[in-house]
A and B are shown apart, each in its own frame.
Chain A
Amino acid sequence: MDVSRLERVSEHCWRIEPSGAMRVPGIIYGDEALVREMDDKVYEQVCNVATLPGIVRASYALPDAHWGYGFPIGGVAAFDPNESGVVSAGGVGFDISCGVRTLHTGLTLEDVEPKKKELADQLFRDIPAGVGSTGRIRLSESELDAMLTGGAQWAVEQGYGEQADLERIEERGRMHGADPECVSERARARQRDQMGTLGSGNHYLEIQHVVEIYDEKIAAVYGLSQGAILATIHCGSRGLGHQIGTEYLRDMAIVAAEYGIRLPDRELACAPIRSPIGEAYLGAMAAATNCALANRQIITHLTREAFARVLPSAQLTLLYDVSHNTCKAERHVVDGQEKLVYVHRKGATRAFGPGHPALPAPLNEVGQPVLVGGSMGTASYVLCGTAEAEHLSFSSSCHGAGRAFSRQQAKRTWSGRQIIDELSSRGILVRSPSMRGVAEEAPGAYKDIHAVVDAADRAGLSRKVARLEPVVVIKG
């Protein structure tokens, strides 16, 4: 991106003055190197989002922003329903409520090292991963409805996990407003075999160890210490969410004009929050969110079973569960007034600061854990929500590194076997059904996550708490 087109507000904040149809400014967070590396399409997409009806404050791009569909990935925008604000299927994306869940294990690296291979093999056997894998659970139509309205709460009631898990999930594991009637037959059919499956692409299950603590006080509240072993699950709403995204994107692209909305890009497909299709989408999206929360809950249960077989002393408890493709009704201060707005986070993590009423004790003392995923060989981070992110980004922070190499470039550059051997020599065991899939997800294909996280920290979007590195990777 050409930084001469931006006004530099501070070291890590850049502004695009509203022009043309833009209703609000664009704000991009990142240091100069990160912003220069961003595609010009990110600039265009930030400006396009700023033209949508009812947008408040600004159209934001976070330090990991890259070219997405309509909205940039790493984009945040909030809309006021009382000002003809919109909800956008494109602003949430295909993988509704894709997210990251991190579990404590109560073990240290020394405990796991001697059993590492056995643990990797057990997890790979027990957790369905990759294209064509199917889960053990088959839901009847009424059970599917219960799952779509109950989310992780439903999963716990079915015996997958414990009540205490729910405290550490956004929305306490169940998003309100889900309407199974707004979920099509096709979306249901795509989910039939997919409950409790990881998926593919950048989705994974990692066993990680804490390699560095940046903030001792917050780390203590989060229960993190040097050398501790964690398990992290990255996946989403599976076929059901993908189908809902597909169908509403198409329908909204067609009806937007009927509501007088001029779309600069069809992928921005949206409709007024207060319209039949807007309300139907919100009902279906909440159902897909519950599907994602239930899915991560079931995978948590499978992970606990695998640990119990190999390392029976392990106690798997939740650090936290975040979703990074969402639209949520939240109260935020806009023009000095607290308002209910619909915050779209597309490849962005909610990051509530200390004292936020949505956070359980003791997390409310310090702020919400923000889980930033890595890519097999590189680090993941635990950050903490800040008070100032409320006015900086509607309490939002980054979600990952973003790709530097396309899938085609990655396949030309690396082979899966070579990546697995290299990581193995560094003590990282990878299990995957697809060697070519591993090549496409090579750690070198991703941008420098350290730079992204440092920028989020320095911009005040969230604070660095701990860095994690993988020990075992199950790749879909």
Chain B
Amino acid sequence: MSRARYEHFSHGADIGLRGIGVSPAEAFEQAALALTAAITDPQDVALQESTEIRCAAPDLELLLVDFLNAVIYEMSAHGMLFSRYRVEIDGDRLHAVAQGERVDVAKHAPIVEVKGATFTCLQVAQQPEGSWLAQCVVDV
């Protein structure tokens, strides 16, 4: 089984996020790291503050969009960046703890502001080799 990882893929003017993990929860964590990595290097984001995120949705794909949008909200409304995510999924509910710090323009040189997660290229699925993939495009 592959190790947890994230990557970006191209979509027109915007950015595709892809998280891969042993479970949907781990794939969600990696997708959220891909979100941070679209803005700055997650290694530069210190673990100083924690934020709790809770959401619920009728299916796993909508849950991914809701989770990423909740992270985007925390970043936008509170000026945060996160570099560690712990996600638990129980049926249609998600509970997450995101850890990070406030944006420091000099330190993080953030590239772009993410406006929202979209339904484009949205997929949460188990791969033939067993790992889980969670992906969608975010509007920047």
Cβ–Cβ contact A440 & B10, under 8 A: no
| A194 CB, nearest partner CB in chain B, Å | 8
Which residue from B11, B15, B112, B118 sits with its C-beta under 8 Å from A131?
A: B112
Cβ–Cβ contact A434 & B77, under 8 A: no
Kindly state whether residue B88 has any CB partner on chain A within 8 Å: no
Interface string of B29-52 (1 = CB under 8 A from A): 000000000010000000000000
Q: Which stretch of B19-27, B58-66, B89-97, B125-133 is in the interface? A: B58-66
Which residue from A69, A243, A245, A476 sits with its C-beta under 8 Å from B119?
A: A69
B residues less than 8 Å from A68 (CB atoms): 12
Known: A132-B79, A403-B12. A69 touches B109 (CB 8 A): no
Write the chain B residue with the least CB distance to A347: B13
Measured CA separation A250–B122 after assembly (Å): 13
Q: Which stretch of A199-207, A221-229, A455-463 is in the interface? A: A199-207
Known: A131-B103, A132-B105. A403 touches B13 (CB 8 A): yes
| B41 CB, nearest partner CB in chain A, Å | 10
Known: A200-B113, A246-B69, A434-B111. A131 touches B39 (CB 8 A): yes
| B97 CB, nearest partner CB in chain A, Å | 19
Write the chain A residue with the least CB distance to B66: A250
Cβ–Cβ contact B77 & A192, under 8 A: yes
A residues less than 8 Å from B140 (CB atoms): 200-201, 407
Contacts A/B (CB < 8 Å), 30 sampled: A69-B120, A73-B12, A93-B139, A94-B116, A94-B139, A95-B115, A95-B139, A130-B105, A131-B103, A131-B105, A131-B113, A132-B110, A186-B77, A200-B110, A200-B113, A239-B76, A242-B72, A242-B76, A243-B73, A243-B116, A249-B116, A254-B62, A267-B119, A407-B14, A408-B8, A434-B109, A434-B110, A435-B109, A436-B109, A437-B110
Cβ–Cβ contact A267 & B118, under 8 A: yes
Interface residues of B (CB under 8 A from A): 8, 10-15, 39, 58, 62, 65-66, 69, 72-73, 76-77, 79, 103-105, 108-113, 115-120, 122, 137, 139-140
